[in-house]
Amino acid sequence: MSIDSIDPDDVDAADILGSAIERREDPALVTGDAEYTDDIQLDGMLHMAVLRSQYGHARLRDVDTTAAEEMDGVVAVYTHDDLHREDTPSGGSYSLPVGWLLDSLRQVDHPILADDRVRYQGDAVAVVVAEDRYVAHDAADAVAVDYERLDAVADPDDALADDAPTLHDDAEGNVAFEWEIGDDEKTDAAFDDAAHTVSLDLENQLLIANAMEPRAAVADYHPGTDELDVFMTSQNPHLHRLLMSGVIGHPEHKLRVKAPDVGGGFGSKIHHYADEALVAWVAKDLERPVKWTATRTETYKTDAPGRGHRTLAELAMDDAGNITGVRVDTRANLGAYLSTFAPAVPTYLYGTLLSGQYDIPAIHCSVTGAYTNVPPVDAYRGAGRPEASFLIERLAHLGAREVGMDPAEFRRQNFVPDDAFPYDTQVAVSYDSGDYEKPLDEALEMVGYDDFRQRQADAREEGRYLGVGFSCYIEACGLAPSELAGQLGAQAGLWESSLVRFHPSGTVTAFCGTSGHGQGHGTTYAQIVANELGIPYEDVEVVEGDTDEIPQGMGTYGSRSAAVGGSALVKSSQKLVEKARELAAHQLEADPADVEFDAGEFHVAGAPDRSVGIKALAEQSYLAHDIPDDMEPGLEATSFYDPDNFVFPFGTHVAVVEVDPASGEIEFEQYVAVDDVGNQINPKIVEGQVHGGVAQGVGQALYEGAEYDANAQLLTGSMQDYAVPKAMHIPEMDTGSTVTESPHNPLGVKGVGEAGTIAAPQAVMNAVVDALEPFGVDHLEMPMTAETVWNATGGSAATDGGTEPNRDGDRDRNRDGDADADGAPDAAVDDGGER
């Protein structure tokens, strides 16, 4: 089942909001007409290459740039000391800032060029600027670095161990923070009283985002005006401008950050990295345009990876299968330094979602953030919420099995009831609205669940192993309001801003502070504005991603654009309508209170022939020949919209797989996704977002994982080694939806951008584990490669269809390199509450 796109010309203006019209941005993207950062060519442009540490951890004894400087075509070579020399153009911090603070946070210095020590393979040591990109890279190789190698650590548990090497003097024991949420005493009591408990010792592996377009930046300095233009792959140009201004010491109002077309971000282009700051600083220092584009290897080594949790998770239940408690202890990998929003991800974006879709009376979660010798870890699609959802839905699977209930019915029994919203969880957040049974019912229907167990039993008779896996996920998007975010540690407001401008001829440009990079904002925002103003969709143009054009903005991440950016556009549009109403009243000689607005026309109540269109009023407002005395000419409005709560999308995803124990291969029979993202502005774009998200979630479940060796050397530094799934690896998806409006924004929308990624991994794992139940497999580590599965089953059919595990643990390769004596499963089921 797939939604067909509609030509916007075939849609009545009144129906434009909610129509599955085709994306207007696609023709340029698919005909090569789009302009990416690397496409930008400026006169006299130089190229920058970054020399990166080849070691996970080392002291820099000496960095000798002589040979590189002498190479033909090399214009300059910079190291840490050059940034601080006396004649530098400005005094920046030359260290990267952190945008989210926690009480217990131990901040550490994050220089944009390493001082005396490198802390991950990829840490920037020197930059070379040359007339040609290839020369720049060759010259970077010619910089001679005398490293003194130090012990390194890539895993958070290893980093927190007593004998671990210390990364930073300011963070003893490599502890970046200790954080908790929920009520520990109440939760311990729930476990003491529990009739049943299950526990999981799991890893949520590090992932690398793999956008199609690597990070890139072009900087152009104008000495005459002291203006510095930076074109870069950004999800949030205004935030980048603010942060970069401090890092390189250039005044914010003379710094322009523009994101041209951006080929995917998935979170990795939110953060402020050293490279973009260096390009800007170098361009200013040399007074010449400079370009840097990451190689694919550089993206593997430096793009902020996501996830990286090790967790002990427990579920307590009563005799009737009601969940009575959840207890979680997580060690989160933060990498070598704190990335821009890193502290928020394994804390507030994670612990607050641990109630899942369930009415759970006691929850406690503690998290220790660990510095390790991997690149700084930060938000990657879903960010914190996939980790929470994975954990809860894995526990739900095991819990149902422990109490002998059907997994779907176990979930249904524990759902927050639909009359309990707004629902206050035990982990600080209040769910806005929900009706969790609806997507579950629709998914069960789509998957034909009534017959499934019989089919599964029949297949097992034939030595075939089918499994079904459920994921009843919840996510939180549009983090808000700013005051609350500030109390939680955000160093920024989380509003969004828009400017909607009528032109005198009646067409409109809508500017928004979000910055789409594949999500189709040009289409959906035009749908919103056209609907509010009652004008044709074609008459609305959308502009994002340029600090010179858009007054202010917070950017695109956390699936916030529809709920927060879209609402800012509604607010500005409504201001326009109100101003136009006054002008209409003036022209129609009526009281504004008597002037009604419908489908782009104002008319006097009860006198439909006394009317004037909003487009005509736009012209009148600019002519200003006949407007009210106290009215300013022109028709445009700016708004800042600060929501009063998050929005909480939800849904049920179901995977049906067949697992071949002899080869370890997993094949999808079906993948069903039923999502509730509130009202849908454009169902086709919503479906596309779900598809993309599920692809990434399936990637995590089956293929992807950043692997480091004992020296914190990246073993998966290319597409050859880091298995990004190909199209043939992704199942056909059957999508469905239910609609539960959010009461917290004028559109009634919830976010969708991360839904698929949050939902998919546990749907797949629950299905695989369900298939392998006869082998006694409770849990597998991700990615569930054929090798992992094969090791867990012993590579043969279960002898008696019974529950005896048949594994060959010797062959199992663990992430930490140890042979795992019992194969992958680390789940335990018992009926006591002791930890």
Residues that bind ligand MCN (CB under 6 A): 264-267, 381, 516-521, 524, 556-563, 677-682, 685-686, 689, 692, 749-754
Query: Does a cis peptide bond (omega within 30 degrees of 0) precede residue 481?
Result: yes
The residue among 214 and 774 lying less far from ligand MCN, judged by its C-beta, is: 214
The residue among 73 and 743 lying less far from ligand MCN, judged by its C-beta, is: 743
Give the shortest CB-643-to-ligand MCN separation in angstroms.
12
> Starting from the edge strand earliest in sequence, which strands make up the sheet with 290-293, in order?
74-79, 124-130, 46-52, 290-293, 216-222, 227-232, 255-258
Q: What's the rounded Cα separation, in Å, for the pair 208 and 210? A: 6
The residue among 280 and 752 lying less far from ligand MCN, judged by its C-beta, is: 752
Question: What is the DSSP secondary structure assignment for residue 714, as one 8-state letter?
Answer: B
Give the shortest CB-299-to-ligand MCN separation in angstroms.
13
Give the shortest CB-687-to-ligand MCN separation in angstroms.
10
Give the shortest CB-208-to-ligand MCN separation in angstroms.
13
Q: What's the rounded Cα separation, in Å, for the pair 350 and 77? A: 42
Determine the distance from the C-alpha atom of residue 578 to the mean position of all C-alpha atoms in its chain, rounded to a whole number. Answer: 36
Query: Does a cis peptide bond (omega within 30 degrees of 0) precede residue 422?
Result: yes
Give the shortest CB-651-to-ligand MCN separation in angstroms.
12
Smallest CA-to-CA distance from 335 within 282, 399, 289, 380 is with 380
The residue among 517 and 579 lying less far from ligand MCN, judged by its C-beta, is: 517
Give the shortest CB-750-to-ligand MCN separation in angstroms.
6
Q: What's the rounded Cα separation, in Å, for the pair 775 and 762? A: 19
Give bridge partners of residue 6 from the DSSP assignment.
Answer: 21
The residue among 666 and 681 lying less far from ligand MCN, judged by its C-beta, is: 681
Q: What's the rounded Cα separation, in Å, for the pair 282 and 130? A: 11
The residue among 324 and 745 lying less far from ligand MCN, judged by its C-beta, is: 745
Give the shortest CB-492-to-ligand MCN separation in angstroms.
16
Q: What's the rounded Cα separation, in Å, for the pair 370 and 364? A: 20
Give the shortest CB-340-to-ligand MCN separation in angstroms.
14
* Rg value, the chain, Cα: 28
The residue among 158 and 675 lying less far from ligand MCN, judged by its C-beta, is: 675
CA–CA distances in Å: residue 652 to residues 406, 581, 760, 762:
15, 45, 10, 11
The residue among 153 and 259 lying less far from ligand MCN, judged by its C-beta, is: 259
Give bridge partners of residue 229 from the DSSP assignment.
Answer: 220, 256
Q: What's the rounded Cα separation, in Å, for the pair 742 and 443? A: 22
Give the shortest CB-270-to-ligand MCN separation in angstroms.
9
CB atoms within 10 A of CB 109: 13
The residue among 68 and 207 lying less far from ligand MCN, judged by its C-beta, is: 207
The residue among 746 and 809 lying less far from ligand MCN, judged by its C-beta, is: 746
Question: What is the DSSP secondary structure assignment for residue 626, as one 8-state letter?
Answer: S
CA–CA distances in Å: residue 690 to residues 369, 432, 697:
30, 21, 10
In 521-581, beta strands by DSSP E: 540-543
The residue among 174 and 524 lying less far from ligand MCN, judged by its C-beta, is: 524
Q: What's the rounded Cα separation, in Å, for the pair 619 and 98? A: 47
Give the shortest CB-205-to-ligand MCN separation in angstroms.
18
Give the shortest CB-414-to-ligand MCN separation in angstroms.
26
Give the shortest CB-495-to-ligand MCN separation in angstroms.
14
Give the shortest CB-476-to-ligand MCN separation in angstroms.
12
Smallest CA-to-CA distance from 154 within 796, 767, 818, 713 is with 713
Encode 388-424 in three state secondary structure. HHHHHHHHHHHHHHHHCCCHHHHHHHHECCCCCCCEE
The residue among 248 and 755 lying less far from ligand MCN, judged by its C-beta, is: 755
CB-based contact 714:121 (threshold 8 Å): yes
CB-based contact 307:205 (threshold 8 Å): yes
The residue among 327 and 517 lying less far from ligand MCN, judged by its C-beta, is: 517
In degrees and rounded to multiples of 5, residue 120 shows phi and psi of -155, 155
